[in-house]
Chain A
Amino acid sequence: AQTVTQSQPEMSVQEAETVTLSCTYDTSENNYYLFWYKQPPSRQMILVIRQEAYKQQNATENRFSVNFQKAAKSFSLKISDSQLGDTAMYFCAFKSGGGADGLTFGKGTHLIIQP
């Protein structure tokens, strides 16, 4: 079974700063996908970024990028030029490569962007 660990329950940074959220996972599989989801106070979980395990290149989406270290089983999220609207819970999630398995989530990091 897979496990996902987010070791930072809460983080707070000033607006415009860069922040990195950590995520580690454990799996014996070689084909899998990793995701970061954002859950603002409005509750709906929104996909931020995803990474295919077979790709060495780190995924990037505008101000969001990941540092994927497959050997270390680490998948951190970097948010550059943070904005007030980035305040949310951030969940790291793992999915096996095949089948309709559900996502395995970490406990989440509550990110607060201070004005």
Chain B
Amino acid sequence: EPEVTQTPSHQVTQMGQEVILRCVPISNHLYFYWYRQILGQKVEFLVSFYNNEISEKSEIFDDQFSVERPDGSNFTLKIRSTKLEDSAMYFCASSEIATGGQPQHFGDGTRLSIL
């Protein structure tokens, strides 16, 4: 069964550095999402992406964050000038369509640790 894949599984970065988290969505899916889960807290929506542009974003997704689909398969989340509070699990998800209750399929996540 096709899966969403995320790399790396664990990323350790110094505070203030830029980090790029990578995701390969399921190939026939059109909508892509990023979520984060701070340890012990809820999974929170960051952003959705369709047709090479952001569809929706939460208030968490500020100017520090950006997303990109640099080629036909990868979907990336860039965090500029990382802060300690950016430490979290980051999940990528994809879905065929956004409406109709179509389920989102999640990757294994990337654990980001900011030192």
Contacts and interface: CB of A to CB of B under 8 A. Distances in A.
Interface of A: 33, 35, 37, 42-47, 50, 52, 91, 95, 97-108
Contact of A50 (B56, B98, B101): B101
Nearest to B59: A1
A66 to B, nearest CB: 13
A33 B99 CA distance: 10
Contacts of A108: 42
B109 interface: yes
B46 A44 contact: no
B46 A106 contact: no
Interface residues of B, number: 28
A35 B50 CA distance: 22
B56 A106 contact: no
Given A44-B106, A47-B105, A99-B99, 6 more contacts: A44-B3, A45-B43, A47-B104, A99-B55, A100-B56, A103-B104
**Secondary structure call for the A interface:** loop
Contact of A102 (B41, B45, B105, B107): B45
B33 interface: yes
B106 A102 contact: no
B15 to A, nearest CB: 25
A46 B91 CA distance: 12
A43 B109 contact: yes
B103 A47 contact: yes
A11 B92 CA distance: 28
- Interface centre among B45, B48, B50, B58, by most chain A C-beta atoms within 10 angstroms, is B45
20 contacts: A35-B103, A37-B106, A43-B109, A44-B106, A46-B106, A47-B103, A47-B105, A52-B101, A99-B55, A99-B98, A99-B99, A100-B48, A100-B55, A100-B56, A100-B98, A101-B45, A102-B46, A102-B56, A104-B45, A108-B42
